[in-house]
Structure 1
Amino acid sequence: MNTEQERATAPAEDVSRQIIAIAAHADMDAFQALFQDYSPRIRAYLLKMTRNAQAAEDLMQETMLAIWRKAGQYDPSRGPASAWIFTIARNIWIDAWRKQRRPELDPNDPALAADPEPDAANLMEQRQSHDALHKAMQTLPQEQVDLIRLSFFDEASHSTIAKQLGLPIGTVKSRIRLAFGRLRAALEDVK
């Protein structure tokens, strides 16, 4: 190996050894050397990504902390240490970018509030509607009651009902329409 190749591989081997030392012994000297070598590079990389010096600094600090924590996950056989380091930096930048894009939840948002308990008048109205529907359903033939139950209470699709009952889908649709027409007329009579 010529001297130029030796100079190119020596720093990469040093970085690998530093990461392994951090993982094995929580070696602060190795981490300090790694920090001095890589923090400016990571900051420059993240500055290109964020275009914000403070954000780049913060993300670089997060990256170095992640390197300290994840040093045990580094596998030199999977690639160079620099690729591992910059992958961590990239993933931290992606997480920060996604977090920034995600809207904050407002706990006072009406869409997040639970539905209020119905008052007595609403409960009575719901009960009367339920009773009226029940009476109207009793006036229908059992075949039509079954179709309405399958379609709207069990939420089965028309094709599922057709298969289940062994009927053509067009027949199922027309029978459901007929059942609704009769149900509507029965509800008007009940009122």
Structure 2
Amino acid sequence: MTSNIPKTSDATENELVTSCLVAVAESRDVAALRKIFTLYSPRIRAYLIKHTRDVQAAEDLVQEVMLAIWRKAEQFDPMRGSAAAWIFAIARNTYIDAWRRKKRPEFDLNDPALMADPEPEPTDILVQRQRQDAVQKAMQTLPQEQIDLIKLSFFEEASHSTIAKQLSLPIGTVKSRIRLAFGRLRTALEDLK
């Protein structure tokens, strides 16, 4: 039993598809797109099933490929390659885009990480200000050299070795003076309570 579809050579098929792509690009010829669909949708479907291993996903992607061909037909240049190569490049890129979308999670607008921090309560603001005032008063009880060390270490986030180089002190001295300053701060803050 013979098929009713005439056999064509690759060159003849390429010429046919090229002329169809030109017709789609120039005049949005639906009949030309239908011919491309008839010739290539089974091949694209097989290609996409092989990659996705999901028949339904492949069917959906075939539709995306055909839509992309419709939209991008004017970008086809027969001097740069065959129509089949151009069509399968679109199929490959469509598959890659779908794979990337699948790998990238959707944003959950209710995710706590995406929500703005709530406005602090007035009592929390008051408590925070009182703590800041207490720390400032406690810092005033320290000698200036210890205040400088704490500012460098905790406010400017300098490492102990950087502070030692900057102040021309041994690193052990820097560490012990910071420890001593914290001891004095702790005592001063307990006295303020």
TM-score by length of 1: 0.74
Alignment of 1:89-100 (within 5 A): 89-100=91-102
> 1:102: how far off?
2.9
Distance 1:134 1:51, change over 3 A: same
Unaligned stretches of 5+ residues in structure 2: 1-7
Spell out, residue by residue over 1:138-183, the C-alpha distance to the aligned partner (whole angstroms, 9 max, x if none).
345556555544554455x649x949x9639995796367336414
Q: Which runs of 4+ in 1 moved over 6 A?
A: none
Say if 1:123 and 1:188 are closer, same or farther in 2 by CA, change over 3 A.
farther
* Residue aligning to 1:188: 187
Number of aligned positions between the proteins: 183
**Greater CA drift, 165-174 or 82-91:** 165-174
The answer for the alignment partner of 1:112 in structure 2 is 114
- Partner of residue 77, structure 2: 75
CA distance in 2, matches of 1:69, 1:108: 36
Identity across the alignment (%)? 50
State the Cα deviation string for residues 49-99 of structure 1 (Å, max 9, x = none): 122222111110011001111112223333222222112112222222232
> Conserved in 2, the CA contact under 8 Å of 1:148 and 1:179?
yes
Distance 1:95 1:135, change over 3 A: same
Which one-letter code corresponds to 1:188 in the other structure? T
Higher Rg of the two aligned structures: 2
What's the counterpart of residue 62 of structure 2? Answer: 60
Query: Paired residue for 2:34?
Result: 32
Q: CA RMSD in A?
A: 3.4
Structure 1 alignment gaps of length 5 or more: 1-5
Matches within 5 A, 1:35-46: 35-46=37-48
Higher helix share: 1
Deviation for aligned residue 1:188: 3.1
